[in-house]
Amino acid sequence: MSFQLVPSLFRIPSVPSLSPPDAIWRGKGSDEGCFAFNAGYTWGGHVIVRDGNFCPCLQIDGQKLTPVYTDINGYVYWQGGGYVYYTKTYGWVYMSGMFPGYEPVENYKFEDGEYVWQGDQFYTFGSPPYSPESEVEMRPRGSISESGSAKTLKAIWPRWAAKSGEFGVYEGKDGESGEKVKGLPQFKGGGETFLRSLNKDKGHYTYGRIHYASGKWVIGEVGSAGGWHEGSEPKADGGAVTFRFTKPEGSDAQGSDISVSFDKYVCGDETDTAYLGSVATWR
């Protein structure tokens, strides 16, 4: 359960009111398939999302529209019971029954002393919602300009949002449940700091000088003439762990027990190979 910073330029087609993140973190282990980045002030800062949820979804009449990362006139588009996309003629539109990118048709004629609107059935609006609390009214256009009713467009973003700072616990929002953690757990005890490793070594993490050896968790080296400490693996969601001072039989070495407890989640400094994706080879 951890995330790894990927030093690459993360880019998708433009999303209104959402700036591309400066960096993206890739989930490892149980977090595989998740990504973490800074979503900006209006969305609460740092978030964790599942693969594919790199920007908010939209909701119309209770129907969720999910983003498609294909450029249409410079922007992403959304699909689900219809399409929301950017047009050259009307700006942002919502319509169904046609393909995303289609330019809607609207015209009118003068009949029996009044204007009669004709064309496609679609809706227009200024820009998609920019925050969890914002809503946008969509105005009927084309053949439903007079007969249609306005619709409300909302933004929802299934995500885990940081509770306090970039590194630490994230809580589920907009359909995601439970908690996730970004960062490595750091422990303190006996005037020392013990930071958990990103990867396991022979099936076990290391915590600075705390490591698994000879079938037990120890600080120091088992069998050392100066003594060592024996305890159990520290856990972020557990209580303090006491490491008992131990020495070889007949040794005059002196030492005290060490109580180790969770301190906080922090950014580590290890590096590792990261798989980003695959592409086809041109032939």
At residue 228, the pLDDT reads: 96
| Comparison of pLDDT for 215 and 22, the residue scoring more | 215
What would the mean pLDDT of 199-228 be, rounded to a whole number? 94
The predicted model scores a pTM of 0.85
Residue 1 has pLDDT above 80, yes or no: no
pLDDT class for 276, splitting at 50, 70, 90? low
Cα torsion 47, 48, 53, 57: sign: negative
At residue 20, the pLDDT reads: 80
> Cα separations (Å) of 282 from 51, 70, 144, 193, 279?
26, 21, 48, 51, 9
Q: How many residues does the chain have?
A: 283
Residue 19 has pLDDT above 70, yes or no: yes
| Comparison of pLDDT for 244 and 12, the residue scoring more | 244
pLDDT class for 275, splitting at 50, 70, 90? low
| Comparison of pLDDT for 165 and 22, the residue scoring more | 165
pLDDT class for 69, splitting at 50, 70, 90? very high
Lowest-confidence region among 5-19, 111-125, 240-254: 5-19
Tokens 């740092």 — which residue? 46
* CB contact set of 106 (below 8 Å; sequence gap of 6+): 90, 117, 118, 119, 120, 122, 141, 142, 145
Cα torsion 127, 69, 20, 270: sign: positive
Exposure string for 28-38, b = 16+ CB within 10 A, e = fewer: beebeebbbbb
Residue 273 has pLDDT above 80, yes or no: no
At residue 115, the pLDDT reads: 81
pLDDT class for 154, splitting at 50, 70, 90? very high
What would the mean pLDDT of 9-36 be, rounded to a whole number? 86
At residue 90, the pLDDT reads: 97
How do the domains of the chain map onto residue ranges? 1-55+157-183, 56-153, 184-266
> Cα separations (Å) of 52 from 68, 211, 274?
9, 38, 18
- On whether the CB atoms of residues 6 and 22 are closer than 8 A, the answer is no
pLDDT class for 106, splitting at 50, 70, 90? very high
What average pLDDT is seen over the chain? 92
Lowest-confidence region among 24-33, 119-128, 160-169: 24-33
At residue 277, the pLDDT reads: 59
DSSP string, 33-49: TEEEEE--GGGTSEEEE
Distance CA 68, CA 61 (A): 20
Which amino acid makes up residue 49?
Answer: V
